[in-house]
Amino acid sequence: MARAPWYTEDHDQLREQVRKFVDREIAPHIDRWDEACEFPRELYRKAGELGLLGLGFPEEYGGTPTADPFHRIVVTEELSRPGSGGLIAGLMSHGIAMPPIVALGDEALKRRVLPPVLAGEKIGALAISEPDGGSDVANIRTTARKDGDHYIVNGSKTFITSGMRADFVTTAVRTGGEGMGGISLLVIEADTPGFTRTPLAKMGWWCSDTATLYFEDCRVPIGNCVGPENHGFLGIMQNFNGERLAIAAMAVAFSRVCYDEAVAWARARNTFGRPLVTRQVIRHKLVDMAQRIESAQAYLEILAWRVGQGQWPVADVCMLKNTATQCLEFCAKEAVQILGGAGFIRGAKSERIYRETKVLSIGGGAEEIMKELAAKQLGL
């Protein structure tokens, strides 16, 4: 693909730096980590030393504030090359846990939480979904009742990425009445009495930990409230926009990984005395994959440019997420088909990605929710 004009030398340097990190620290180990259903906690520290975790965060807390959306796309593309969404989800879970603190938190909370997370010394997670509801954020049931200088938290969360490892959990709670106006965000720390968690086994994303969290009379300091009480819904919604853009970037990047693996296999594999790629049906499959990838990539980059200009076109972000995840489902399916038996055996990137496609279609707002939100934004 030709280089788009919004990529600069700075983006190229970042890509080279992250690529070396991935080739050295991740790619040689990713199959073993996936089978073990975890990756070393030390990887957070190494990523923090590289500056990877601080990309897009304020400099005073250890971040790199000059990062634009294309820096994040570059990082996502390079982290995707080993073919593990679980690695990205786990290593970068602070990317959805920390932005509300940056946007809404007071200075004391920022100083206490952000520096160790961006340095890779601590791990952050975001806890929104509950056992009886995921996308219906306005109706969460976990409660936080004031008691002196603390909140008493009761309830549970589920499908929480980095839920078992997290030191800081940015948690949506109900501090007020019904609906979106009664929601706050609290940072709940791992050592809080009454806070327990259990791991969840998953179809994919094996090397990321995913958990259900339980809060039983947890006493959380009032100072851990992220922004004004009952103003958490706005922070959650703003966060979702960034998360959806990131999911789209992951989906497009993994689509390209599937395409590249399928092309390499089709050129190397011989059937009936000829390379597989000489078969018209295979070439057409590859063209269909490339066509969808380039279309999704163009949509992603146009919206990234608009976001970089300070715009947040919500309808387009929703439609982009669906476009990108549908592209991934198609490309993963076709790549496994082209690889044949080899695509069904663990060790192929396309096999792992195929198992992981649905989590991107569901996470950050399910495909059906995205359509409905886009319809409302379009005035339909």
Report yes or no: 246 and 93 within 8 Å, Cβ to Cβ: no
- Let me know if 243 is a catalytic residue: yes
Helix H or strand E segment including 172? strand 168-174
Rounded CA gap, 190 and 169, in Å?
A: 8
Q: Which residues pair with 156 in a beta bridge?
A: 214
Rounded CA gap, 164 and 190, in Å?
A: 9
Helix H or strand E segment including 80? helix 69-80
Rounded CA gap, 250 and 78, in Å?
A: 10
- The DSSP output letter for 178 is S
Report yes or no: 98 and 166 within 8 Å, Cβ to Cβ: no
Report yes or no: 257 and 353 within 8 Å, Cβ to Cβ: yes
Q: Which of 10, 110, 106, 16 is nearest to 66 (CA)?
A: 10
Report yes or no: 118 and 54 within 8 Å, Cβ to Cβ: yes
Question: 212-230 burial, b for 16+ CB within 10 Å, e for fewer?
Answer: bbbbeebebeeebbbbebb
Catalytic member of 77, 189, 229, 243: 243
Catalytic residues: 243
